[in-house]
Amino acid sequence: MSHRPQDRVEELAFPSLWAERHRVIQGRPWSFEGREYLRDIHDDLSEEVVVQKAAQLGFTEFLQNRACHAIDSGRSTIYCLPTSEDVKRHSKTRFNALKDQSPYIDSMFIDTDTIDVKRCGDAALYFFGTIGKTELYGTPADELIVDEVDRCDQDALSTARHRLDGSSKGARSLWVSTPTRPGVGVDVLIKQSDQKEWHVQCPSCDWSGPLDGSGDLEKWTCLWWKGWPKIPEPQDIVQVSDTACVRCPGCGAKWTEDERRAACSAGKWVARLPENASVSGYIITQLVSPTMTTQKIVREFFNARHSPNPHRMEEFVNQTMGKTFKGVGGGISEADVFAAYRQERPSGDLQWCLGVDVGHRKLYCCQGTRIRDGYKQVLWVDRFFVLEGFDWSMTQDKRGHIVSCVIDQYPETAKTEELCSEFGGSVYRARFGDGLGRAYRWNHEDYTVTVGRVEAIDAMHHGIREGRTWIGQGTDSDLGAASKHLTRVITYYSSDNTGQARRKADSKVGGADDYAFAQMGLEAAVTRLAEEREVSWDVPEEDLEPSYASFEDDKDPLGGMTDVLGDRFDSEKEWLRW
């Protein structure tokens, strides 16, 4: 490289200094003003660094700085994002914008500059989407950077970690994520670390500590609002949240927003578990943000508390407070979906079923079957795919004959009725409804099934969360779209016109949910086939791999789901068929 500064040793030892000298953002040199908490993390060159953080705190830009610093230091780096679509979006927009605004960084990548690979001399920056981890094989590196750990395929991340095993320059890994649920992704990693928190000093006394707490926000002693800890009625939310402020847990002094920002700027990282220093960990919430206000944070909390949709509170806890959330109902996260991914397909002459959601001139399909793993039954989702029009050649799929199908009746009522007639009971038309009180109500005379939307969504989510559903990672499966669709359907409580709480189903705004309804159709098709044949879902034991066995000796095929959905089926026999 030409035009190297004379003090290269100093800036390569301190990535924060490197960023201030070479990074330009929005037309200005990089600055840590207002985000002083990022400086020490920039300069943390520990073997393993983990950050559990709230949203919108500048960590994506931090990761880009660290990636470019590593490449400029001659260290090849793998930069992992959840999906290949995330890679394209990040590389084309955020990373290209970084280069366009920063002449020095732009001059680094003159040898190779594609979406996936950017080369600087002997070092290369590789961008990978973690879905479909075979891409990572054969890619040695010195550094690993993972953005949004919880949304990534955890098996792929394990593979990525081993790409550092041959590094002669000292392997380093950096894991950053907004958390989702306990025991998933960054929550596992941060518990193994020294768990540093950003400590601030009270302007009125000697107290210092993190602007953090445990439990619900009204239990946090560092916050105050008029009537605290009482949650105001909906009509009073704006007025009460305008009184919110940080309150010193030591002397009780109420801080102004200027005092909060000044205290956060002068803060420092303090380890909660210094004995775990081998893994350097950081935990941070939006209460240290220079762009958020205490009033806005508290208002979001009040609105989430009053919302009948539990997803609102989940989003607040994860995104605003940077903490894990475990609640009842609601939805699932992409991390839950990715945890269900499996590489190896089951073998044998399996009985394939199909669920189909009818979209605008497209059929969204979900194909799978029921298999056995040890002592439990598992729904194997083999692939998600789209068909243009009603070409029913998919019933002769290359994986084997499809023996049971449930297809959304609407909006193509006439065409779906033709399919039912043509395939003589193999195809059932589905109507989705609320208030059914059970998952399915079958009509075998006209080949229709009424699907309880709330019950079907709960069953689908329970299967994914509890390891009762496995999702194959075949290259012909539309996993990128499916992982998003499955997270957009939710259940929640809402009051009816009599004031009684009722379960309802809905979809989050801002995206499609077709594959979610296709998978619900698959689960209905699987159930119908078991009811019709009253035989094992699996082929004979002698024809299967040792990990699979027959259905008859499974004493609890639902693995505890009876406790969750027990009132939605008519009999124990129907449970066993499910």
What is this structure's pTM? 0.67
> Which pLDDT value is given to residue 549?
29
Other Cβ atoms closer than 10 A to 452: 24
In the structure, what pLDDT confidence band is assigned to residue 521 with cuts at 50, 70 and 90? very high
Digit-coded pLDDT (tens) for 94-119: 888 888 899 999 888 876 667 788 88
In the structure, what pLDDT confidence band is assigned to residue 204 with cuts at 50, 70 and 90? very high
DSSP assigned state of 255: P
- Higher-confidence residue of 387 and 250: namely 250
> Which pLDDT value is given to residue 569?
37
Among candidates 215, 149, 225, 204, which has minimal Cα distance to 180?
Answer: 149
Share of the chain above pLDDT 90, in %: 41
**Mean pLDDT within 303-315:** 79
- Higher-confidence residue of 280 and 435: namely 280
**Mean pLDDT within 439-456:** 87
> Which pLDDT value is given to residue 292?
95
Digit-coded pLDDT (tens) for 45-77: 999 999 999 999 999 999 999 999 999 999 999
> Which pLDDT value is given to residue 558?
29
In the structure, what pLDDT confidence band is assigned to residue 507 with cuts at 50, 70 and 90? confident
Considering all CA atoms of the chain, what is the largest pairwise distance in Å, rounded to the nearest integer? 84
Residue 15 to residue 18: CA distance in whole angstroms? 5
> Which pLDDT value is given to residue 544?
31
**Mean pLDDT within 513-535:** 84
CA distances from 393 to 79, 132, 355, 390, 398 (A): 41, 27, 15, 9, 10
Residue 278 clears pLDDT 90, i.e. is over it: yes
Tokens of 158: 């394990």
Candidate from 10-19, 190-199, 324-333, 364-373 with smallest mean pLDDT: 324-333
In the structure, what pLDDT confidence band is assigned to residue 412 with cuts at 50, 70 and 90? confident
Instruction: Give first-to-last CA distance, the chain, whole Å.
Output: 64
CA distances from 476 to 83, 362, 383, 472 (A): 15, 17, 7, 10
**Mean pLDDT within 17-31:** 93
Name residue 387's beta-bridge partners: 363
CA distances from 221 to 60, 92, 284 (A): 30, 44, 17
> Which pLDDT value is given to residue 571?
40
> Which pLDDT value is given to residue 4?
52
* DSSP-based three-state secondary structure for 197: strand
- Per the listing, tokens 């009746």 go with 409
Candidate from 173-177, 457-461, 545-549, 564-568 with smallest mean pLDDT: 545-549
DSSP assigned state of 286: G
Tokens of 76: 């090849």
In the structure, what pLDDT confidence band is assigned to residue 199 with cuts at 50, 70 and 90? very high
> Which pLDDT value is given to residue 543?
34
For the chain, give the mean pLDDT: 82
**Mean pLDDT within 452-456:** 88
> Which pLDDT value is given to residue 28?
93
> Which pLDDT value is given to residue 441?
87
**How far is C-alpha 537 from the chain's CA centre?**
31
Digit-coded pLDDT (tens) for 121-138: 889 899 988 865 445 556
Question: Residue 290: how many CA atoms within 13 Å on its side-chain side?
Answer: 13
Digit-coded pLDDT (tens) for 382-410: 999 988 766 655 445 444 578 888 998 88
Residue 114 to residue 393: CA distance in whole angstroms? 39
Share of the chain above pLDDT 70, in %: 81
> Any alpha helices (H) in 534-571, and if so which ranges?
561-565
> Which pLDDT value is given to residue 138?
67
**Mean pLDDT within 274-281:** 96
Candidate from 49-58, 73-82, 430-439, 464-473 with smallest mean pLDDT: 430-439
Residue 551 clears pLDDT 50, i.e. is over it: no
> Which pLDDT value is given to residue 553?
32
Residue 277 to residue 282: CA distance in whole angstroms? 12
The most confident of 155-169, 289-303, 343-357, 398-412, by mean pLDDT: 289-303
